[in-house]
Amino acid sequence: MRLIITGPPAAGKGSIAPFLAKEYGILPISTGQMFREEIKKQTPLGLKLKVILDRGELVSDNLTNQMVEARLKKEDVKNGFLLDGYPRSINQAEFLDKFLAERNEKLDYVISLYLEEEIIIKRIVGRRICPKCGKLYNIYFTKPKFDEVCDLDGTALIKRSDDTEQIARQRIKIYEKQTAPLIEYYKQKGILISSYSGHKKVEDTFDLIKKQVIADDHNKI
Ligand code: AMP
The pLDDT tens digits for 146-188 are: 999 999 999 999 998 888 999 999 999 999 999 999 999 999 9
Most confident of 86-90, 194-198, 200-204: 86-90
Q: What is the best residue among 5, 15, 30, 35 to mutate for testing ligand 1's pocket, by most ligand atoms within 8 Å of CB?
A: 35
Task: Determine the pLDDT at residue 25.
Answer: 93
Nearest ligand 1 atom, CA 92: 19
Could you give the dihedral angle defined by the CA atoms of residues 203, 209, 211 and 215, in that order, rounded to the nearest 10 degrees? 180
Helix axis angle for 31-40 and 61-72, nearest 10°, is 100
Q: What is the mean pLDDT of residues 73-87?
A: 94
Residues with CB under 6 Å of ligand 1 are 9, 30-32, 35, 52-53, 56-59, 64, 85-88, 92, 171
Active site residues: 13, 88, 127, 160, 171
The per-residue pLDDT for range 98-122, each reduced to its tens digit, is: 999 999 999 999 999 999 999 999 9
Check residues 78 and 62 and name the one with the higher pLDDT: 62
The answer as to CATH 3.40.50.300 being correct for domain 2-116+179-220 is yes
Contact 15, 202 (CB under 8 A): yes
How many whole angstroms from 85 Cα to the centroid of ligand 1? Answer: 6
How many whole angstroms from 4 Cα to the centroid of ligand 1? Answer: 14
How many whole angstroms from 165 Cα to the centroid of ligand 1? Answer: 17
Three-class SS of residue 113? strand
Q: Where are the domains of the chain?
A: 2-116+179-220
